[in-house]
Each structure stands twice: as structure tokens, then as C-alpha cells.
Structure 1
Amino acid sequence: MSSFRSFVWDPMLLISQMVCIQSIFYMTVTFLLILYSFFGYDPVLSTIFSNQASRLMAMCQVAGSLVCAFALSVVVQRAKQCLDFACTLHFFHLLIVVAFNLSFPFQLSWWLLQILSCIVCTVGGEFLCMRAESQEIKLEGGPSKYDL
């Protein structure tokens, strides 16, 4: 049975996509912290992996989620998989935070930040993927008769 974009289990593709998304998330947050250091903040690694939410980390993490939403549309290219990748990204972030601090985060504001960040990443990624998926497929090399 053939279908459009049939799914083939490729673990190396999934792992490489997840590593790419995770790397983009942490590079964006790190870049924003370094950019913020020009205004007197001294960036440290514990800010990224803190189990307590701060205003600075909230802004950086939500911005990182927006960048990851764009990355999902480029790397994953499937609206159906955006929720899976966004939740996996934040699950791995939770594991790294627990391993870094040797304690589980119990602060409600930290959990709310993670939920907000996951929602932003998922909805943004799905929106961009659906926009790309709904573009007109051109069958000819020339311009479409519907182009103005």
C-alpha cells in the first residue's frame, strides 16, 4: 500500500533530528545569555540548567522555543511530529536539569515555564509546518496561471 509521505522507521534520522533540535535550543539560549552579558550580566552555565525559574531564563527559554519552532519546520517538516519533538526536547531538558542539580525541580514557576515553552514550540512549529505543507505544488517549470 503506497501513501503520500509514508513513514519509515529510521532511528538514526530521528536521533539526528532530536540532537539537532536540542542543540539549536541550547545554542539559542546560550547566545541570548552572552548577548545579555553586554548589559552587565555575567553568564554562567547554571543559569541554563537551573531548577528555579528566573525572569532572564524565562525570556531566553521562550525565545529559544520560538527558534526551535522554526527549526522544527526546517528539520522535521511534519506538523504531526512537532508535538512529539517539542515534548521530547523538554523531557531531555528536564533530565539534564535533574542530573546537573542532583535534585528534582519542585518550583511551580519552573514547571509553568516548561509548559509554556513546550506550547510555544509546538504551536509555532505546527503553524510553520502547515504553512509549508499547504503551498501550491508546481507541476510545470513556468509560472502558474494563478500567479499575478
Structure 2
Amino acid sequence: MARRRRPPRAGALTELPPLKIASQIAILQALYYFAALVLMLFTTLVAGMPFSFDLILGWDRVRGDTTQGWLMAFVWLLNGGFCMSVAMVILVARSKLVPDFALTIHFLHLLFTCLYTRSLPRNSMWWFTMLASSATAVGLGMWGCRYRELQPVFFLGGRILGSGTSAPSNRGPGAREDALHPDVEDGMGGSSTAGEYEMNQIKTSA
């Protein structure tokens, strides 16, 4: 007798569609090189260095024995660690997917660098920079996504997700609860202002 297969969990087929993941990786990789291009252009203009695409797709400029090598390492750390964490918070917005995207971006950069230079990076400073960039992107990206996930969601003026579930009230901290119901008796034996007004109106008409 054939065994019946369990139905898929609701949303399992649409939670992580491959096409969406591939498009997000492509967008993040394009932003990675665009941010690197902008940062490298700015750095070369300020430092008076000649610009070339070896600064982006090469590995020999990132070295630990020169000042320019440390400067290039800082630029790559700023690009991969800070810029990519902000991009992942905006595009991915899920903390559990941040490590996969961050490591994929840096792995593709390693692959493109090897194809461009036709060699494996041999500078230890380059490898250290990429590891630090990956760790920074994962840490900041997960923190940013978790902070975004915990933010309250408002719908039609009321908070439906967060620390409270009711709409914000315009009453001050010292306002009485019975101020919303002026026609209810005080509970101390006396009547409310509205009741006194009604009795005065009846006497006048009489």
C-alpha cells in the first residue's frame, strides 16, 4: 500500500522562491560593486592616487606593509561591512537569511577576483579584510533586521504589533476614567454634572 505524503506546510513553497533569492543576490552584488566604485573613486581623488579597476577586482593593492594597502583594506571593510549590512536590512529584512546573503556576496567577490586576476589572492591582508568584512556584515545585518522586525506596526491609527495593542489616547496621565462617561454617577453618593443640568432643566420647564 502506497504511503500518503504529508501536505506541504502553508507558505513553504512561496516562502523562499529561488527566483526571488537569485534576484536579491544579483541586486546586492550590483550594489556591492557600485558602492565599492564610489568609495574607491572618492578615496583616489582625496589621496591623489590613480584609479583603475584593479582596485575593485584586484587583490594586490590590499596589503599590510604600506599605508595605501591599509587604506584600501579600510575601504573594503566599510563597503562590505557597513554598506552591505544596510542594503540587506532594506532588501532582505530577515535576520536568519543575513548570514547566507553576506557570505554569498563575499564568495562571489572572491570568484570574480580570481577570474579577473587569474590567480588566487596571496596577500594575507586581503583574506583578513574579507573575513572581517563578512563578520561585520553578518553582525550589523542581523542586528538591523531584528531591530526592524521588533518595530510596532500601526494600522488605521492603532498599534497592532508591539508593546501595546490599543490605539494611543489623547488623555493626560492624570485624567480620570469616568471622564469618558459624564452621565454615570460618581459612586460617592452625588450625581454627575450632566444629571444636575437635566434636573435644572426640568424645574425650569415646570
Note whether the superposition's TM-score is higher than 0.5: yes
Aligned residues: 147
Q: Which residue of 1 aligns with 2:113?
A: 97
Contact 2:158–2:168, Cα closer than 8 Å, also in 1: no
How many Å separate the matches in 2 of 1:46 and 1:95? Answer: 15
Partner residue in 2 for 1:64: 79
8 Å CA contact 1:29, 1:63 repeated in 2: no
Q: In the alignment, does 2:145 pair up with 1:129? A: yes
Query: In the alignment, is residue 45 of structure 1 matched against residue 53 of structure 2?
Result: yes
More helix by percentage: 1
Higher relative contact order (Cα pairs below 8 Å, separated by 6+ residues): 1
**Correspondence 1:109-120 to 2 at 5 A:** 109-120=125-136
Unpaired runs of at least 5, structure 1: none
Partner residue of 2:18? Answer: 11
1-structure distance, mates of 2:58, 2:169 = 53
Higher-Rg structure is 2
TM-score (norm 2): 0.65
Q: Cα offset for 1:17?
A: 0.4
Moved more, 9-18 or 127-136: 9-18
* RMSD over aligned Cα atoms: 2.4
SS at match of 1:138: strand
Identity, % of aligned positions? 24
User: TM-score, normalised on structure 1?
Assistant: 0.88
